[in-house]
Structure 1
Amino acid sequence: MKKTIFITGATAGFGEAIARTFAAKGWNLILTGRRKERLDKLKEELSGQAGEIYCLTFDVQDYISCQNAIYTLPEKVLESIDVLVNNAGLAAGRSSIDQGDLNDWDTMIDTNIKGVLYVSKLIIPFLKKKESGHIINLGSIAGKEVYPSGNVYCATKHAVDALSRSMRIDLLPFNIKVTNIAPGAAETEFSLVRFKGDEKQAKEVYNGFTPLFAQDIADTVDFVVSRPAHVTINDLLIMPTAQANATQFHKEI
């Protein structure tokens, strides 16, 4: 029987790479995101590799939208979910705390924290019912350390780290694994979003060293999911070789 993975933020970056990796293994995919055209294109590309593919268009910031979209799936599909990947997340802007943009704050809090909570709340009852499953939360080095002008983003990723540990405790009696994956510098659309479309500024973040790529994180998800039933990897911090912590890099410029 084919396994099923539910991925938020599957339209780009880590989420898309995870979808492609598990499609190649023949898994059933439930792909979610805000950009319907990207989901449809990805579904078309992966058809023939994956098992069944379901696409749900919604914004994780909106609980009612999450609920309405997820509940369009047949109950047997929801009950078949083996892995939930809470990947949707973003950084918006970078400034000192007193100069922060309130809209950026709300977007990061609503996406990075509430989005994880909303989707998890809707999916967990199906995992508990069958007393198995695996939740993977995409955190960040920013959830382990703070850095200048990263204040609210760091706070949201610290929350993901705490939620991952709390989920692990709450779901322990139900045989549900929980893994927090915390990447360092990774070249995806992350910096482009943070700097609001400024391609030059986004590219400069990765000048002089080789960052992580989306496939590195997809391979990591594949690894933790493929561990034996008696093994759970609670937490993984993954860095480019050229990065020691949140702020220290060896750049060849």
Structure 2
Amino acid sequence: MITGASSGFGEAMAWRFAEAGCKLVLLARRQDRLESLRDQLIFTYHVPVHTVILDVRNVAEVDLLPGQLPEEFADVDILVNNAGLALGTSSVQDNSIDDAVTMIETNVTSVIAMTKAFVHGMIERNKGHIVNISSIAATESYGGGSVYCATKHALAAFTTATRHDLVGTAIRVTSISPGAAQTEFSLVRFKGDQEKADAVYRGFDPLTAEDIADNVLYACTRPEHVQIADILVLATNQASAKGIARVKEQ
């Protein structure tokens, strides 16, 4: 099961897991893109794909989700909590509370809700893997990202605590923390301003969604006794969240 599957990391993961022969449950808000992806995956890899149109911030619907899945897809053994976003680059005195609430509900609350909803089945079967897509912002805070960084720090704490809670089971818990990766992330952050979004990745080779999907598949395909706890992934010319060596334009 992959949340936020209609674009970016989620879409790339869907392709990688389909290539590996997995049944897929794909969640997103954008029905047209999600259904198009489903059709392409089935045509290309002939794997079963079930789609769910859902805003993960609706925790009441998330709670009901396990009982609403078709029998073929009900036993979710890999949960990828991928849905997440940043909104704006305001300083703390100018933070939009509406944007803050959206980030907290999407990046933190939904992960708690999704995990609670599906971990019960994993515990009963004593089998499962929870993968939380985090960020370099989970370990390094920066100006203009107070709320986003706070959500990813919270996610890091939740992920570690989840691993402690499940240590007596065969369930594995993994955090993947990308650095600068060129997806729709910055376009969302800058609320549709393509020029600002493009400037984030100008002058160096950023990570791609496919790079992160490779790391997720790697973590999920280790032997059962191996648990990849954390992966921090940076572009080659990136040393920190803001520490990026860029080639100056001529």
Residues 144-174 of structure 1 deviation map (CA, whole Å, 9 limit, x = unaligned): 0001111000000011111110110101112
Unaligned runs of 5+ in 2: none
CA contact (8 A) 1:11 1:33 kept: yes
1:201 positional shift:
0.5
Determine if the alignment matches structure 1 residue 61 to structure 2 residue 57: yes
Q: Which moved more, 1:150-159 or 1:70-79?
A: 70-79
Number of aligned residue pairs: 247
In structure 2, the partner of 1:158 is: 153
In structure 1, the partner of 2:213 is: 218
1:78 positional shift:
2.1
State the secondary structure of the residue aligned to 1:59.
coil
Residues 60-112 of structure 1 deviation map (CA, whole Å, 9 limit, x = unaligned): 11111223444321356322x22110000000111111100111100000000
TM-score in terms of structure 2 length: 0.96
In structure 1, the partner of 2:165 is: 170
State the one-letter code of the partner of 2:37: L
In structure 1, the partner of 2:243 is: 248
Measured at CA, do residues 133 and 143 of structure 1 come closer, stay the same or move farther in structure 2, by a change above 3 Å?
same
Supply the distance in 1 between the matched residues of 2:46 and 2:229 (Cα, whole angstroms): 27
Select the structure that is richer in strand: 1
Q: Which of these residues, 137, 156, 159, is aligned with residue 142 of structure 1?
A: 137
The percentage of counterpart residues that share the same residue type is 45
In structure 2, the partner of 1:191 is: 186
Supply the distance in 2 between the matched residues of 1:128 and 1:100 (Cα, whole angstroms): 40
Q: Which of these residues, 66, 72, 82, is aligned with residue 68 of structure 2?
A: 72
Q: Which of these residues, 128, 131, 140, is aligned with residue 133 of structure 1?
A: 128
Residues 164-223 of structure 1 deviation map (CA, whole Å, 9 limit, x = unaligned): 101101011121000000000000000000000000000000010010000000000111
TM-score in terms of structure 1 length: 0.95
State the secondary structure of the residue aligned to 1:203.
helix
In structure 2, the partner of 1:16 is: 11
The alignment's C-alpha RMSD in Å is 1.1
Within-5 A mapping of 1:49-128: 49-75=45-71, 77-79=73-75, 81-128=76-123
Measured at CA, do residues 18 and 75 of structure 1 come closer, stay the same or move farther in structure 2, by a change above 3 Å?
same
Supply the distance in 2 between the matched residues of 1:83 and 1:111 (Cα, whole angstroms): 20
State the one-letter code of the partner of 2:127: S
Q: Which moved more, 1:161-170 or 1:43-52?
A: 43-52
CA contact (8 A) 2:179 2:232 kept: yes
Unaligned runs of 5+ in 1: 1-5
CA contact (8 A) 1:28 1:50 kept: no
State the secondary structure of the residue aligned to 2:21.
coil
Q: Which of these residues, 18, 33, 36, is aligned with residue 31 of structure 2?
A: 36
State the one-letter code of the partner of 1:156: T
State the one-letter code of the partner of 1:160: L
State the secondary structure of the residue aligned to 2:232.
strand
Measured at CA, do residues 36 and 161 of structure 1 come closer, stay the same or move farther in structure 2, by a change above 3 Å?
same
In structure 2, the partner of 1:3 is: none
Measured at CA, do residues 21 and 59 of structure 1 come closer, stay the same or move farther in structure 2, by a change above 3 Å?
same
Q: Which of these residues, 183, 197, 203, is aligned with residue 202 of structure 1?
A: 197
